[in-house]
Structure 1
Amino acid sequence: MASAHDAIGPQSRDCADTRSPRRARFAGALLILLSLIPTAACFLAFAWWLPSDRERYQDYRAARPCTNGALQRRQTDCLSTWRLTMEKTVNETGKSSRYEAVLTDEDSWRGTVNFGDAGPLLERLRPGDRVRATAWRGHIRVLGKDGVKQDTSAAPRDEVQMNAAVGVLAGLFAAQLFLFGAMRLARPRDYKPFTWDPYGRTLLFITTGACFGVGLTAVWIGIPWWTVPAVSVPLVAIAAETLRLRLSRTAAHEALSAVDVSGPGRARHTA
Structure 2
Amino acid sequence: MLISVSLAAVLGCRAAFTTWLGQEIGRYREYTAAPSCPGGLPEHAVEDCVRTVEFKVADVHARAGKKGGHTATVTGSPFWDGTVDFGDWDPLLTSLHKGDRVTGTVWRGSVMTLAEGDARQSSSDEPRDEPQMVAAAGTFGALIAVLTFVFGTVLLTGLGGRRLEPYVRWQPYGMRLLTTTIAACFVVGLICVWTGVPWWLTPQLIGLVVAGGAVLVYGRDRRKPAAAGR
Q: Normalised by the size of structure 1, how large is the TM-score? A: 0.75
After superposition, residues 256-267 of structure 1 pair within 5 angstroms as none
Is 2:202 the counterpart of 1:228?
Answer: yes
2:213 to 231, 236, 239: 239
Confirm or deny: 8 A CA contact 1:116 1:152 kept in the other structure.
Answer: yes
Confirm or deny: 8 A CA contact 1:161 1:219 kept in the other structure.
Answer: yes
Change (3 A) 1:205 1:67: same
Higher share in helix: 1
Identity %: 38
Counting matched residue pairs gives: 227
Following superposition, the deviation at residue 230 of structure 1 comes to 1.2
Confirm or deny: 8 A CA contact 1:193 1:247 kept in the other structure.
Answer: no
Name 1:187's counterpart in structure 2.
160
Change (3 A) 1:122 1:220: same
Following superposition, the deviation at residue 67 of structure 1 comes to 2.2
Unaligned runs of 5+ in 2: none
Which has the larger Rg?
Answer: 1
Name 1:55's counterpart in structure 2.
26
Change (3 A) 1:112 1:47: same
Query: What CA RMSD, in Å, does the superposition of the two structures yield over aligned residues?
Result: 2.5
Q: After superposition, give the CA deviation of every residue in 1:96-141 in whole Å (9 maximum; x if it has no partner).
A: 5322111111669741111112222222222222111110010000
Following superposition, the deviation at residue 219 of structure 1 comes to 1.1
Is 2:161 the counterpart of 1:219?
Answer: no
Q: What SS is found at the alignment partner of 1:192?
A: helix
Confirm or deny: 8 A CA contact 2:7 2:145 kept in the other structure.
Answer: yes
After superposition, residues 120-269 of structure 1 pair within 5 angstroms as 120-184=91-155, 185=157, 186-187=159-160, 189-190=162-163, 191-250=165-224
Confirm or deny: 8 A CA contact 2:13 2:142 kept in the other structure.
Answer: yes
Name 1:82's counterpart in structure 2.
53
Confirm or deny: 8 A CA contact 1:42 1:168 kept in the other structure.
Answer: yes
